[in-house]
């Protein structure tokens, strides 16, 4: 048993001044943007706030906000990350507003998941959502002290505090698996702001930059066994380690309106047009993840590794990739190298990435991971089985096949698409996805049975 706990004196750097606020203190953030800051700007501290779960706040506080990052490649590599200077629960709105009111803080990053932007099916802020309504009412009544719970509500509360303090320009950087995440963030923030205080828009125009980013690093939920491994290797008892793969990518588009960390020193790239990078990653990596996450458990597979090494699932992944690459405006050799690298990443036996983790929130993932390719093929007169099979797998998941329960931000809505009749369920799901085509429905129906019989 390891006797030592992590402390700044023994294992880390001194705390840096907080200059970034982060919402969503999960494993992915600690493997990704906190790692980029660690490796580029040592003088740049992050104050991180928990999102949906407070799991890591107490553990990290007890160990000086330090944690061990374990990179599991062919070899195992560990390092202690010092870039978090403070951690808070998401309920600590005094701390949240306090950072926004500080001119030291010029960057806010987000990992709040697709669902965290609280949009309706048209992409607008979901003003019918009770939590959104409560946030609007609370900020209308008390702009500087009202209690808010949603991410858009918190961002608007922070911006109100910043305007009040005259703390100057600030840039927001969403880091979730979306297309044009900057535009999405701008829309939900501005729509919420408009309901609270119309005069905020002018201040936002003059002071708030919003960038768009594509993020990638496969980071499963750590287990007790991972903690034991860290203790064994480092001799330190870390209650909040993160296990990740060696690969990492961060592509950023847009202007920062105030100071930012020199993330490019750690390998982040800045581009003029991020869309091809977002599509490449969302369709090829995340798309194949979702396909495996819905079909795999029905076929007795529990992890990405088990799924990609199953020849049938692997052939379905390739079939999906063959469809998707047709609509990626990138050189063919780059795309085949990307596919090859993905297979290697998925076949990493040390990364135990549960398919059940990926299966969550399909309502937010299926429309952006598969539907664009499916529709583009239809426009070319093709019903591509590679692009319909993931939908068939999702329909089976929604119908309750396999051991993974439906966990979805829009659970009631998508479970409501399921009726006793299989063909009718397929029709409902396709309609919900904006697809009205009999041949697609027939193909999906046939593929339901193929998956069940595989």
Check residue 218 for interaction with ligand CS2 (CB under 6 A): yes
CA distances from 145 to 135, 152, 412 (A): 11, 16, 33
Give the Cα separation of 73 and 77 in Å (integer).
Answer: 8
Q: How far is the CB of 289 from ligand CS2 (least distance, A)?
A: 4
Q: Which stretch binds ligand CS2 (CB under 6 A): 161-169, 294-302, 357-365, 411-419?
A: 357-365
Closest residue (Cβ) to ligand CS2?
Answer: 289
Instruction: Please say which residue, 362 or 386, places its beta carbon nearer to ligand CS2.
Output: 362
Is residue 269 classed as helix, strand or coil in its secondary structure?
strand
Q: Which stretch binds ligand CS2 (CB under 6 A): 2-10, 144-152, 216-224, 306-314?
A: 216-224
Q: How far is the CB of 249 from ligand CS2 (least distance, A)?
A: 8
Q: How far is the CB of 360 from ligand CS2 (least distance, A)?
A: 7
Contact indicator for 384, 444 with CB cutoff of 8 Å = no
Check residue 216 for interaction with ligand CS2 (CB under 6 A): yes
Which residue is it, tokens 């070899």? 75
Check residue 303 for interaction with ligand CS2 (CB under 6 A): no
Q: What is the chain's length?
A: 454
Instruction: Please say which residue, 279 or 289, places its beta carbon nearer to ligand CS2.
Output: 289
Q: Which stretch binds ligand CS2 (CB under 6 A): 66-74, 85-93, 102-110, 211-219?
A: 211-219
Give the Cβ contact number of residue 412 at 10 Å: 7
289 Cβ contact partners less than 8 Å away, ≥ 6 residues apart = 304, 358
Give the Cα separation of 16 and 281 in Å (integer).
Answer: 33
Task: Output the six-digit token pair for 211.
Answer: 């960038």
Q: How far is the CB of 27 from ligand CS2 (least distance, A)?
A: 10
Give the Cα separation of 116 and 53 in Å (integer).
Answer: 13
Check residue 238 for interaction with ligand CS2 (CB under 6 A): no
Residue 400, judged by CB atoms within 10 A of its CB (0-12, 13-18, 19+), counts as exposed
Check residue 176 for interaction with ligand CS2 (CB under 6 A): no
Check residue 163 for interaction with ligand CS2 (CB under 6 A): no
Check residue 345 for interaction with ligand CS2 (CB under 6 A): no
End-to-end Cα, the chain, rounded Å: 45
Check residue 253 for interaction with ligand CS2 (CB under 6 A): no
Contact indicator for 5, 62 with CB cutoff of 8 Å = yes
273-292 residues near ligand CS2, rule: CB under 6 A: 286, 289
Check residue 207 for interaction with ligand CS2 (CB under 6 A): no
Check residue 177 for interaction with ligand CS2 (CB under 6 A): yes
Instruction: Please say which residue, 100 or 346, places its beta carbon nearer to ligand CS2.
Output: 346
Check residue 358 for interaction with ligand CS2 (CB under 6 A): yes
Residue 36, judged by CB atoms within 10 A of its CB (0-12, 13-18, 19+), counts as buried
DSSP code of residue 176: S
Q: Which residues bind ligand CS2 (CB under 6 A)?
A: 177, 216-218, 286, 289, 357-358, 365
């Amino acid at each position: 048993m390891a006797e030592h706990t992590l402390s700044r004196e023994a294992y880390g750097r001194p705390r840096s001044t907080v200059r970034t606020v982060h919402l969503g203190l999960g494993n992915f953030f600690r493997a990704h943007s906190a790692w980029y800051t660690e490796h580029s700007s040592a003088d740049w501290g992050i104050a991180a706030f928990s999102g949906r779960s407070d799991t890591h706040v107490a553990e990290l506080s007890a160990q000086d906000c330090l944690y061990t990052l374990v990179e599991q490649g062919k070899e195992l590599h560990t390092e202690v990350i010092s870039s978090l200077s403070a951690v808070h629960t998401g309920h600590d709105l005094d701390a949240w507003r306090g950072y926004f009111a500080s001119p030291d803080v010029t960057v806010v990053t987000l990992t709040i998941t697709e669902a965290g932007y609280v949009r309706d099916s048209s992409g607008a802020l979901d003003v019918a959502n009770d939590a959104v309504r409560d946030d609007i009412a609370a900020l209308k009544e008390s702009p500087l002290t009202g209690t808010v719970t949603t991410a858009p509500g918190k961002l608007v509360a922070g911006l109100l505090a910043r305007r009040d303090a005259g703390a100057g320009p600030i840039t927001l950087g969403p880091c979730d698996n979306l297309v044009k995440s900057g535009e999405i963030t701008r829309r939900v923030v501005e729509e919420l702001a408009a309901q609270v205080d119309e005069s905020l828009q002018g201040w936002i125009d003059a002071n708030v930059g919003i960038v768009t980013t594509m993020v990638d690093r496969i980071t499963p939920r750590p287990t007790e066994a991972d903690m034991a491994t860290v203790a064994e290797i480092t001799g330190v008892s870390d209650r909040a380690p993160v296990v990740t793969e060696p690969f990492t990518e961060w592509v950023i588009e847009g202007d920062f309106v105030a100071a930012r960390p020199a993330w490019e020193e750690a390998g982040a790239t800045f581009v003029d047009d991020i869309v091809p990078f977002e599509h490449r990653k969302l369709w090829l990596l995340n798309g194949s993840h979702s396909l495996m996450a819905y079909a795999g458990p029905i076929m007795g597979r529990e992890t990405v590794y088990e799924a990609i090494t199953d020849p049938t699932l692997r052939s379905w992944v390739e079939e999906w990739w063959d469809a998707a690459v047709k609509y990626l405006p990138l050189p063919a050799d780059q795309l085949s190298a990307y596919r090859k690298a993905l297979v290697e990443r998925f076949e990493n036996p040390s990364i135990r990435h549960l398919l059940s983790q990926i299966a969550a929130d399909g309502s937010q993932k299926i429309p952006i991971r598969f539907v664009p390719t499916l529709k583009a093929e239809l426009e070319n007169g093709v019903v591509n089985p590679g692009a319909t099979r993931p939908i068939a797998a999702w329909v089976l998941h929604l119908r309750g096949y396999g051991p993974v329960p439906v966990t979805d931000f829009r659970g009631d809505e998508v479970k409501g698409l399921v009726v006793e009749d299989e063909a009718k369920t397929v029709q409902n799901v396709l309609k919900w996805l904006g697809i009205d085509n009999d041949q697609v429905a027939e193909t999906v129906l046939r593929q339901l049975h193929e998956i069940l019989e595989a």
